[in-house]
Amino acid sequence: MAIKVTGKEEERAAAAAPERRFERKFFVLPRNIDFAYALLRQFCRLDREYPQEQVNSLYFDTEDLDQYLKSAAGDFRKHKVRIRWYHTLDAYRGEAPVFLELKSREGFAGYKQRQRQLVPVDSLAPGNQGRGIVPMAALTDTIAGFGHYLTMPIRPIIAIAYWRYRFTEILTGTRVNLDCRIRSTIVNRSLGYGEGELALAGGVIEVKGNRIELPLTLRRLHILDLDWSRFSKYGSCLDMHISGPDVARDWPPGRIAET
């Protein structure tokens, strides 16, 4: 059954000035994902409009993977260009809404800008994502409209999909996401990595708010045996494809795989 996109879905494309926020990420061990969900339900409300759904992103980078290298090096200032859409393809008929996004970070503070467009559903099919979904000129013009001017050409690199649970912390209204079942596929074959879809072990809790300190209730997350990390889905998934066959490549860098 096709999903009718109205109301709150439209609000995702709000063009207002971006709000600066602090984003903290915590890697969750595979064995603790169900526990993490149960723990978050104790002191958070599930989002009323979008409590859970599949999130899909197509990431763009330069030929020499400039943004990937900056992310891996932990640069203070960095940007990511991506196209995002929600649900699986069978949710739509004919056209689907996508969001052209620029995510900018300075340390742990950052903001996101996005613009909504309708595209043919066929352009989102796995075999077509390497074409970029929208004309490249439209993407670069949109990013320039956000105030970021690309100095080198970019191209689609990798598609990443995952399941997201959305929460709001009861006392402060802080937004919390639990992302799991993270899968990725290289869409640009000129990179030389020919494998199909790969799954990344574990999940990630993202806490987004206007203060760097965690709300008191969320400090209980320490019992999940997790820590604050620079976890990047783009960086970790691309690492996994680049590293080639390896017993621990489906774990984020710096993590020891469970046996």
Answer yes or no: is 3 within a domain: no
* Percent over 90 (pLDDT), the chain: 59
Say how many Å lie between the first and final Cα of the chain, rounded: 41
Most confident of 10-24, 171-185, 200-214: 171-185
CB 51 within 8 A of CB 165: yes
CB 95 within 8 A of CB 118: yes
- Quote the pLDDT of residue 191: 80
Q: What is the DSSP letter of 187?
A: -
CB 166 within 8 A of CB 177: yes
- Quote the pLDDT of residue 228: 60
Q: In whole angstroms, what is the distance from residue 257 CA to residue 89 CA?
A: 33
Residue span of the structural domain in which 71 resides: 22-243
Q: In whole angstroms, what is the distance from residue 170 CA to residue 144 CA?
A: 37
Q: What is the largest CA-CA distance in the chain?
A: 49
Answer yes or no: is 204 within a domain: yes
Answer yes or no: is 1 within a domain: no
Answer yes or no: is 256 within a domain: no
Confidence class for position 247, pLDDT limits 50, 70, 90: low
Lowest mean pLDDT among 17-26, 85-94, 147-156, 200-209: 17-26
Strands 109-120 and 175-186: unpaired
CB 202 within 8 A of CB 176: no
Cα dihedral 230, 233, 235, 239 in deg (nearest 10): 120
Residues 6+ apart with CB under 8 A from 27: 202, 203, 204, 226, 227, 229, 231, 252, 255
Lowest mean pLDDT among 16-20, 85-89, 123-127, 230-234: 16-20
61: Cα separation from own chain's centroid: 15
Answer yes or no: is 145 within a domain: yes
Confidence class for position 66, pLDDT limits 50, 70, 90: very high
- The CATH number covering residue 80 comes to 3.20.100.30
Q: Among positive and negative, which fits the CA dihedral 92, 96, 97, 100? A: positive
- Quote the pLDDT of residue 38: 96
Q: How many domains does the chain have?
A: 1
Answer yes or no: is 34 within a domain: yes
Cα dihedral 154, 27, 182, 74 in deg (nearest 10): 10
